[in-house]
Structure 1
């Protein structure tokens, strides 16, 4: 398979038509090899418009959604970024090519190890993958940008608390099958939420709505 050609087609036929027009985002998605972050069995689907399965019932985000998330955050070389849900490490790698420093949380040690190895192979040396559950992990560090790679029913306050003043966070919230991607800005008085687009995304572990019992 010609991965270089597939990568070019992904950018031009999927990502750009979905209103991803930021040149830096398009460039990083056109150069960082997505297939290098995937299990061998799924590499031929690396550039398909699909959410691909990973171990432990996890899934990747579709390329178009990854592009929109990166564009919404408008990362620059001074940003410190937290990625919640490292998965394969690809999205954290893209953020690493755009920002100063990236910390990526991953619940599963084997996925974290594979992501770290892939990042190292691609010489993305400003991304650290940490094993941790976003609903149990604690840190005194604050970030200028947060990218949440899974949906939440409601936005956890702890995620907002990890933002610096005037920091911003991309997150998908709501109830499947119609969810809302939003940009949260940590303004001085209260968080400000900007609606971006509708989508659907698997929930982060621990972030799904409580089951509704029907009689």
Structure 2
């Protein structure tokens, strides 16, 4: 039997804290959420390694460092509602749910969405809901959101997603630029989103967020 709680502590001590992520709610959430329960069963042994974990079809669970730094940059408050785009099997949602008031997660693949909802329910996460639909469309009917986080890289960000951000809200997105990839945080002020560089990290481009998708009908 693998000692996952030791691995979880190791993950935080060797991947998260050294990346200058020190906010207590983030550290506490990442120490508390059993990451191994939100990855494919055959990948549990690799749940705590410091790299993106493949879910298949260009989808990943973001590596702990990247995800923690995104949370750090967003500075989510306990009274905020978060849109988690591309929640996979629910790990990001479970962590966000410990920090925010409520999380609306979107997953394109129906089976994966069901698995995520089951895992969240079984682990007592009652302030999150998983919806099924195209990631590019978000979940407008539950918005607008204080925070939007995108669990994968984009080349083109659909304007419809920015419309779901509350004025004064933040969105964190890994952009597929160059070899490294660039994570930026957008701040919505008076209806416009102003982007700021946060850090470098790579991830596969999410299906539907490729450049040419802007021109398809």
> 2:198 matched to which residue of 1?
196
> 1:52 matched to which residue of 2?
53
Asked if the contact 1:154/1:174 (under 8 Å) is kept, the reply is: no
Kindly state the Cα deviation for residue 177 of structure 1 after the two structures are TM-superposed.
2.2
> 2:92 matched to which residue of 1?
91
> 2:39 matched to which residue of 1?
38
Asked if the contact 2:138/2:161 (under 8 Å) is kept, the reply is: no
Map 1:58-97 onto structure 2 (within 5 A): 58-97=59-98
**RMSD value over aligned CA atoms?**
1.6
Asked if the contact 1:176/1:200 (under 8 Å) is kept, the reply is: no
Kindly state the Cα deviation for residue 57 of structure 1 after the two structures are TM-superposed.
4.2
Asked if the contact 2:58/2:206 (under 8 Å) is kept, the reply is: no
TM-score with structure 1 setting the length: 0.93
SS of the equivalent of 2:53 reads coil
Kindly state the Cα deviation for residue 137 of structure 1 after the two structures are TM-superposed.
5.3
Asked if the contact 1:176/1:201 (under 8 Å) is kept, the reply is: no
Kindly state the Cα deviation for residue 186 of structure 1 after the two structures are TM-superposed.
0.4
Alpha-carbon distance between aligned partners in 1 of 2:11 and 2:138, rounded to the nearest angstrom? 35
Change (3 A) 1:205 1:191: same
TM-score with structure 2 setting the length: 0.92
> 2:28 matched to which residue of 1?
27
Q: Indicate yes or no: 2:132 matched with 1:154.
A: no
Alpha-carbon distance between aligned partners in 2 of 1:136 and 1:165, rounded to the nearest angstrom? 19
> 2:171 matched to which residue of 1?
169
SS of the equivalent of 2:153 reads strand
> 2:117 matched to which residue of 1?
116
Unaligned stretches of 5+ in structure 1? none
SS of the equivalent of 1:151 reads coil
